Every structure is written in structure tokens, then in C-alpha cells.
């Protein structure tokens, strides 16, 4: 800037600005303000849906109102599974001031109530999140004690926890739910949609700390799940489990399973497995405990299948109950393979073949049948077919097409080798003898009326086989220890070598017994399997039959079936004969 020059005399300032330019600037400013005002009006009054949604995303929440899960009941209305209120404790660590002396003094008691150490609790409260679970599904009373502590930032939700009054006795039947109350096993899983119901909802506004300020909109109430009534009788279930457990432990076995079925309706009255587990406390749970052996495990049934083979021959007219079968010398060779009995029984009637459990006699009877006849009958009574049972994991077993059978395989299948079945399938197959030759489906849900069976054998054949089953449990039979006080019984024992891979393991067996009572008008069918008994005794007549005896007697009494025997049966104390 040069000295002596004045701004007032500057030629630039002396130049007059045109009026339209200043007006144009003012118009632009006015239009800008008008645009902002219009936009503000639009956002606030007209096009505010998007912004309302964004506001709701940040402050509005939909709270789920849990539905009360339906109960699982036994056939008499007793509770097998039910839901009770539980307190789930959560915290907002931002609100829990651990430096506050009053709060710090209450934390040890909170840790005790939730079952944690104080350092574990403090670690959770040191989180930088605004929500952490402290402990879920505590007893409701414990939740009230925590609430009474009045610790700022500690909250609780009302949830539901499943209770199982029958414990490990019915664990494999009812199954269990997870922490979210969703079915994971057993009937809890099979009827998840019916038991779960439908949760409700409530729309609320929360502040930045996650606290509910007010409710908005209409509350949708939850729809509770419906109850499921099973065919299981909890008293029979408990007794069966106890007797099975005792026998497994007494014989140092790997496990065992038992099925009790109503002989008239096919309803399952008990389904027990050991080892078992407590569905309310599943810590350190193993696969062995979870296995529902009665439904998922399949194995060669051994001699328990012989009555079905004999029934085929009776129905086809190739033999009669009194037909003599020569089993001498106790061995039979077919295409280079030898079938053996435990001893040389000589000449046996067809009834004697069942009574003595002769492999040779059964194989000779099967030789008079075609492979197609045997396959069709085995299929008709349920072998190789998946049972139509409302239960997860039901196995179908194995029955190969008859066209691939070799002569030796047809012979071994006649006495239970070369095919596989579950214990449930074995029990169901015997309904063909308890229902005048008709096989009926199994059910784990209580039925309103008996099902219509499928005819397989004639009434005459069914009656004849029932008499043979009675002989097998009488003097000279292989199932003498199946006899029970006050009731006539009939059944068939079985002992099958345990297959490991493609070969049979040395010294490993499964002991079976399947039968019914009372024998003239059967009311129950009981099937028992003990896996790998290892205390020196492994025959089905010695290991499985005693469980059958105890369960039959108790079941019939609980069902109110009057005894059909006036005197106590005389159980012969001779060594039990048994065929592999």
C-alpha cells in the first residue's frame, strides 16, 4: 500500500455496483432457506416413515413373550415332563459400578447365588458390552433373592425350565430340551412343534441403557404348547428300569434294554435303557448314556426268531406241531458250513425244536420253505422295515433281498443269524402270536381305540406257537427262569454272538428273551436284551429271562390282570440249556 492513498478516493470503491447482482444473491439465500424449510416440513410431516423406522431401530424393541411349553404325561395323567418358572440373570456392565462400596459389598452374595466364584462374576461385569448373561434358568426363589439385593445394573428375565420327575428311569423316552427350551432328544424333539406353542410379543421403547421406557402398540399374548399323553405307564417304566439296571450291574454287562408292550393294542408301556442319564443334569454326559438301545441299536436276534420260522412252516402246511425232526447227530452241514446244537437232541417234534431251541431242527424246517416265503413273512412282521413310531432315530434293521440268499444263509436266518433287528421290532413281531395271527403297529402315544392288525398267520397257527412258547418256559425248556408267580408265560430265549466289523467277537454275546403273558390271552409282551454279560453266564435263558419274569409279574398286577395260575410254578433248578 502506497502512502497518501485513501480508500475513499479509490477508483474501485467509487465504482457503483449493479442492483441486479445484489438482488440475485438475496434471492439465492432466500431460496436456500425456503428449501431447508420445505425439507424440514417434508421430513417432519410428510415423508417421515424412513426416519421413524430409523428411530425405532435405535430405541424400539420387540420383546418376545415366551409360551409355556406343554407337558408330557404318562397314560394315567402323571407328569413325565413339565415347565416351571425360572429366573435368568443378566447385567448391563456400564451400570454396575464396582468401585461403589455398597455394590462391592453385595457382589460376593450375588456370586454365591448364581453359583460362581467372585473373580468369575467380576470378569463378566468387566465386559465392555451393554448386555451379558450372568446365569440362566435359576430357581425362581433364587431369582427373588437376587432381586432383593438391589444391585444397580443387575436384571432378570422370566423364562421356563423343564423338570423331569421320573429322572433317569424315563430319560430315553422323554428326552430333554436345551437352554432355549427347544427339544433335543426323545419326545421333546419328536413333538417339538406341538409342545413349544407360539411365543407372543410386546413392542417397547428403550433408552440408551437398555431400560424399558414405555410400551407401544398392541401386545400379542403367547399361545401355550399343548400337552402330549404317552402310552407309557410311569410305574411300569420305573420298575422295568430298576430290574434292568440291577441285572446289568449283576452280570457286569456293557448295557441293557427292555420293552414292555400292550399285547392287544401295541402301545408301549415301558421303554428302558441302561446306562441312562438325568435329563435335568446333563453334565459330563456320554454317548453310551444317550443311546436309546431299544430303538437305535440293531443286532442279530438269535433264537428269539425261531417261533416265527416255525409259524411259517405250520402256515404253509409243511409240518405240524407233532411232526418229528431228526436232529442227529446235533450237526448239519450245508454247502461246506456246519450248523451245530449245544448237544445231540436226536429226534424232536416241532414243539420240541422250540422247547430245546435246536438250530439243526429249525434249519431243517426252513429247508422246506422257499427263500421268498421266508423273506415275505419276515418283512410282513416288521423286519427290515422302519417302525412307524413317532420317535426320532428309529432304526429299520437289515433284511437282504431273498434273491441273494445262499442255502446256508437261508438256514442261519431261520434261527436269527444274517439279519438284524431292534428290540422294539422283536417285541412288535410277537404281536402276531398275541393277536390271533395279526401283527399290529407299535405306538408310544396313548391310543383311543385298538389298531387294526394285518393278518399274517391263521388263528390256529398263532395258538399252536403260543403253546410252544409255553413249553419253552416249562420243565425241559430253555426259558425256565422266565416263569412267574400267578401268571402263565410263554417266550423264547436267544443268545447271539456279537459281531464286530465283519467277524464275530470271541467271548462277546447278547442275551435275549422275548415273550408274553398270560399265555392263553396275552396282555403284555416283554422283550429284554443284555449286552455283553461278562461274569461267566451269557445265555438268554439265564441272563435276560429273570428280568422278563419280574417285569411281567409287576406289569400285570399294575394293569389289574387277575392271576390265571392257582399255584406257584415249580421252576426246575437244572442247568439251563441254550442254543447260540
Distance between CA atoms of 504 and 512, rounded to whole angstroms?
17
pLDDT in tens, 288-313: 788 888 998 898 988 999 999 999 99
Lowest mean pLDDT among 35-39, 545-549, 552-556: 35-39
- DSSP secondary structure letters along 468-521: HHHHHTSTTSTTGGG-BTTB--EEEEEEEEEEETTEEEEEEEEEEEEEEESSSS
Taking the domain 63-229, which CATH number applies?
A: 3.90.1310.10
Q: Is 467 exposed, middle or buried (0-12, 13-18, 19+ CB in 10 A)?
A: middle
Q: Which residues of the chain does CATH 3.40.710.10 include? A: 234-558
Q: Which residue has the cell 446333563?
A: 282
Which H helix or E strand runs over 112? helix 101-114
Instruction: Tell me which residues are annotated as active site.
Output: 303
> Which residues is 417 bridged to in the sheet?
none
- pLDDT single digits (tens) 323-341: 999 999 999 999 999 999 9
Check residue 27 and give its pLDDT: 87
Rounded to 5 degrees, φ, ψ at 29 are -60, -45
Q: What is the pLDDT of residues 499-547, one digit of tens each?
A: 776 677 777 888 999 999 999 999 999 999 999 998 888 889 999 999 9
Distance CA(27)–CA(390), nearest Å, equals 80
Task: Tell me the range of 200-209, 240-249, 503-512 where mean pLDDT is highest.
Answer: 240-249
| Interatomic CA distance for residues 388 and 441, integer angstroms | 7
Please state the separation of Cα 44 from the chain's center in Å: 58
* pLDDT value for 118: 86
The residues, ordered by sequence, that sit 6+ positions from 344 with a Cβ below 8 Å of its Cβ are 327, 328, 329, 330
Q: Which fold has domain 234-558?
A: Beta-lactamase (3.40.710)
Whole-number Å distance between alpha carbons of 256 and 474: 25
User: Residue 433 burial (CB < 10 Å; 0-12/13-18/19+)?
Assistant: buried
Nearest to 274 by CA among 250, 301, 291, 255: 255
Q: How confident is the model at residue 209 (pLDDT cuts 50, 70, 90)?
A: low
**0.85 exceeded by pTM:** no
pLDDT averaged over every residue in the chain:
87
- 284 falls in which pLDDT band (50, 70, 90)? confident
The predicted-structure confidence for 120-137, as pLDDT tens digits, reads as follows 888 888 877 778 888 888
Among residues 170, 425, 391, the alpha carbon closest in space to that of 272 is found at: 170
**Highest mean pLDDT range out of 106-110, 276-280, 316-320?**
316-320
Distance separating alpha carbons of residues 192 and 166, to the nearest angstrom:
20
Q: What is the pLDDT of residues 373-412, one digit of tens each?
A: 999 999 999 999 999 898 888 999 999 999 999 999 999 9
Omega within 30 of 0 (cis) for the link into 275: yes
Residue ranges of the chain assigned to CATH 3.90.1310.10: 63-229
Contacts of 169 (CB under 8 A, 6+ apart): 237, 238, 241, 242, 272, 276
Question: DSSP letter string over 219-230?
Answer: EE--BPPPPEEB
| DSSP class per residue in 78-95 | -EEEEEEEEEEEEE-TTT
Query: How much of the chain, in percent, has pLDDT values that exceed 90?
Result: 53
Amino acid at each position: 500500500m502506497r502512502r497518501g492513498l485513501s480508500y475513499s478516493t479509490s477508483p474501485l470503491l467509487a465504482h457503483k455496483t449493479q442492483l441486479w447482482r445484489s438482488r440475485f444473491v438475496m434471492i439465492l439465500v432466500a431460496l436456500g432457506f425456503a428449501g431447508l424449510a420445505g425439507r424440514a416440513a417434508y421430513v417432519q410431516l410428510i415423508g417421515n416413515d424412513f426416519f421413524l423406522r430409523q428411530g425405532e431401530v435405535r430405541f424400539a424393541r420387540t420383546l418376545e413373550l415366551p409360551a409355556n411349553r406343554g407337558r408330557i404325561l404318562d397314560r394315567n395323567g402323571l407328569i413325565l415332563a413339565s415347565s416351571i418358572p425360572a429366573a435368568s440373570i443378566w447385567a448391563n456392565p456400564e451400570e454396575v459400578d464396582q468401585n461403589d462400596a455398597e455394590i462391592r459389598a453385595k457382589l460376593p452374595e450375588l456370586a454365591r447365588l448364581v453359583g460362581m466364584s467372585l473373580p468369575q462374576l467380576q470378569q463378566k461385569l468387566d465386559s465392555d458390552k451393554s448386555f451379558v448373561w450372568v446365569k440362566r434358568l435359576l430357581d425362581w426363589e433364587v431369582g427373588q433373592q437376587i432381586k432383593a439385593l438391589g444391585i444397580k445394573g443387575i436384571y432378570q428375565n422370566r423364562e421356563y425350565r423343564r423338570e423331569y420327575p421320573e429322572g433317569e428311569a424315563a430319560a430315553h423316552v422323554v428326552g430333554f430340551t436345551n437352554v432355549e427350551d427347544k427339544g433335543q432328544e426323545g419326545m421333546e424333539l419328536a413333538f417339538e412343534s406341538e409342545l413349544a406353542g407360539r411365543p407372543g410379543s410386546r413392542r417397547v421403547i428403550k433408552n440408551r441403557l437398555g431400560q424399558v421406557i414405555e410400551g407401544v402398540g398392541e401386545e400379542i399374548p403367547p399361545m401355550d404348547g399343548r400337552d402330549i399323553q404317552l402310552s407309557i405307564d410311569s410305574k411300569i417304566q420305573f420298575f422295568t428300569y430298576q430290574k434292568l439296571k440291577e441285572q446289568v450291574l449283576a452280570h457286569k454287562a456293557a448295557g441293557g434294554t427292555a420293552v414292555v408292550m400292550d399285547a392287544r393294542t401295541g402301545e408301549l408301556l415301558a421303554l428302558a435303557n441302561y446306562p441312562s442319564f438325568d435329563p435335568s443334569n446333563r453334565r459330563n454326559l456320554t454317548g453310551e448314556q444317550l443311546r436309546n438301545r431299544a430303538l437305535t441299536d440293531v443286532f442279530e436276534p438269535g433264537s428269539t426268531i425261531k417261533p416265527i420260522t416255525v409259524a411259517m412252516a405250520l402256515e404253509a402246511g409243511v409240518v405240524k406241531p407233532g411232526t418229528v425232526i431228526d436232529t442227529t447227530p446235533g450237526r448239519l452241514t450245508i454247502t461246506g458250513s456246519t450248523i451245530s446244537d449245544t448237544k445231540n437232541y436226536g429226534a424232536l417234534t416241532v414243539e420240541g425244536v422250540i422247547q430245546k431251541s435246536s438250530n439243526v431242527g429249525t434249519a431243517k424246517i426252513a429247508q422246506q420253505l422257499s427263500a421268498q416265503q421266508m423273506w415275505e413273512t419276515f418283512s410282513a412282521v416288521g423286519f427290515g422295515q422302519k417302525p412307524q413310531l413317532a420317535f426320532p432315530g428309529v432304526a429299520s434293521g437289515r433284511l437282504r433281498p431273498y434273491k441273494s440268499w445262499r442255502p446256508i444263509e437261508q438256514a442261519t436266518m431261520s434261527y436269527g443269524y444274517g439279519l438284524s433287528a431292534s428290540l422294539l421290532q422283536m417285541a412288535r413281531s410277537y404281536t402276531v402270536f398275541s393277536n390271533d395271527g395279526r401283527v399290529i403297529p407299535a405306538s408310544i402315544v396313548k391310543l383311543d381305540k385298538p389298531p387294526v392288525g394285518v393278518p399274517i398267520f391263521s388263528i390256529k397257527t398263532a395258538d399252536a406257537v403260543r403253546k410252544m412258547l409255553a413249553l419253552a418256559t416249562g420243565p425241559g425248556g430253555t426259558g425256565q427262569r422266565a416263569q412267574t408267580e400267578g401268571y402263565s408265560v410263554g417266550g423264547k430265549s436267544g443268545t447271539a454272538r456279537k459281531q464286530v466289523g465283519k467277524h464275530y467277537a470271541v467271548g462277546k454275546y447278547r442275551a435275549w428273551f422275548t415273550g408274553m403273558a398270560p399265555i392263553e390271552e396275552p396282555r403284555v409282551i416283554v422283550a429284554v436284551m443284555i449286552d455283553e454279560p461278562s461274569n461267566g453266564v451269557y445265555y438268554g435263558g439265564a441272563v435276560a429271562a429273570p428280568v422278563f419274569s419280574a417285569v411281567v409279574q409287576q406289569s400285570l398286577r399294575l394293569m389289574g390282570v387277575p392271576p390265571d395260575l392257582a399255584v406257584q410254578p415249580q421252576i426246575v433248578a437244572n442247568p439251563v440249556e441254550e442254543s447260540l
